[in-house]
Amino acid sequence: MMTIYNWQSGLWGKLLRSKARLPHALLLRGQEGIGKLDFSMAFTHALLCQNPLEDGHACGVCQSCNWLAQSHHPDFRLLSPELETDNEDAPVATVSSKKSQISVAQIRELSTFLGLSSHQSGGRRIVLVHPAEALNPASGNALLKILEEPPAGVIFLLVSHQPQRLLPTILSRCQKIDMPVPEPETALAWLEQQQVRDPARHLAYAGGSPLMALRNAADGVSQMEDICKSLSQGSMMDPFTTASACAKQGMALAVQALQKWVYDLANLRLAGEIRYHATYRNALQNLARKVDLAQLFELQRKLDQARKSATHPLNSELQLENLLLQYIQIFPISNRLR
């Protein structure tokens, strides 16, 4: 039986009370690492279960629950950039680590599924899209055409931590659900239950997202620890060695790490506060006194652009080298010579 996290219980009850009058499309949006996908899967199980429990959760033992547990439910489809179906009728998906977008072919393959009736009398069919921002322009428009004339009995669940990347017309056809972020005390208590050492440090680096903090802690130290040590050197950092280390983590994670560091640098200079890197306070304070704010803001802008194209098949290491060369330049020459 799938469960939800305690910080989601209020939303869970609210959605279950409206189960009989759900819209054809829901957009579950919120920051990464707070359990949106787990919640949407638990909700899917509850909607398709033949004998739900009193609290609304799926029973875990009926035929429908067994189908879902085996990834063979005929009334459910998952669309994800990591998944490619062998044919349009296959409910089972094969993993492809190279994909970063949901293709138009994947949307078109829904046609057979959408044309069928539910395998359960009066039942629903569910299409889960995760992450929804992985839709490219072609697949987004293909999905939009379906949402404009939604098939009867089909519920679309779109899960996103970057909803601003979705087509405005898709957003307008979804009921938006803001997924809750746990209070720090709740998140820390949950991480302690997972036996995470130094949970406050991991939670801070994860921006308050407990599941992301748990993933980071599973590595023993943050994946970006060595990169942070390099960035703390400021203008003395070797951008080429650091770019190589960043590239090994993948473009998306590397750019995110750089954004967090630069955010703390700017926030410390302007407001005297640190959000992500409390253990590097002394280094950041030293760098904040030297930084050129205009160049820092320009670097932030370029990092934002790089984040948007992080999944594109570009030369990641070369792009990271350029960003890190600009990083060492945000410290004026007079400071670099001291």
Average confidence score pLDDT of the chain: 87
> Which pLDDT value is given to residue 85?
40
Beta bridge partners of 26: 157, 175
Same domain, 34 and 101: yes
Same domain, 167 and 193: no
Q: How far apart are CA 255 and CA 246, in angstroms?
A: 8
Over range 154-180, report the average pLDDT.
96
Q: Is 82 strand, coil or helix?
A: coil
Q: Supply the DSSP string of 108-173, one letter for each residue.
A: HTHHHHHTSPPSSTT--EEEEESSGGGB-HHHHHHHHHHHHSPPTTEEEEEEES-GGGS-HHHHHT
Same domain, 95 and 174: yes
Our separate counts of H helices and E strands in the chain read 17, 7
**312 belongs to a structural domain:** yes
Q: How far apart are CA 218 and CA 43, in angstroms?
A: 27
Same domain, 128 and 101: yes
Q: Is 254 strand, coil or helix?
A: helix
With beta carbons less than 8 A apart as the criterion, state whether 278 and 319 touch.
Answer: no
Residue 138: exposure state from Cβ atoms within 10 A (0-12, 13-18, ≥19): middle
Predicted TM-score (pTM) of this structure: 0.79
Domain-ending residue, one of 198, 222, 246: 222
Q: How far apart are CA 157 and CA 310, in angstroms?
A: 25
> Which pLDDT value is given to residue 278?
85
Summarize pLDDT for 296-322 with one digit per residue, the tens. 999 999 999 888 776 665 568 889 999
> Which pLDDT value is given to residue 334?
55
- Does pLDDT of 90 surpass 90? no
Number of domain units in the chain: 3
Q: Lowest-pLDDT range, 72-86, 126-140, 254-268?
A: 72-86
Over range 137-160, report the average pLDDT.
95
Same domain, 189 and 286: no
- Does pLDDT of 247 surpass 50? yes
> Which pLDDT value is given to residue 220?
54
Residue among 211, 190, 187 nearest 33 (CA): 211
**216 belongs to a structural domain:** yes
> Which pLDDT value is given to residue 169?
97
Higher pLDDT, 122 or 147: 147
As a whole-number percent, the residues of the chain with pLDDT over 70 amount to: 89
141-150, 198-207, 212-221, 242-251: range with highest mean pLDDT:
141-150
Same domain, 169 and 270: no
As a whole-number percent, the residues of the chain with pLDDT over 90 amount to: 65
What is the CATH number for 244? Answer: 1.20.272
Query: Residue 267 is part of which domain span?
Result: 225-336
Q: How far apart are CA 230 and CA 252, in angstroms?
A: 18
If pLDDT is split at 50, 70 and 90, which confidence band does 98 have?
Answer: very low
Same domain, 165 and 195: no
**1 belongs to a structural domain:** no
Same domain, 19 and 151: yes
**159: phi then psi, degrees, rounded to nearest 5:** -115, 125
Over range 68-74, report the average pLDDT.
91
If pLDDT is split at 50, 70 and 90, which confidence band does 100 have?
Answer: confident
Domain-ending residue, one of 122, 150, 178: 178
What is the CATH number for 23? Answer: 3.40.50.300
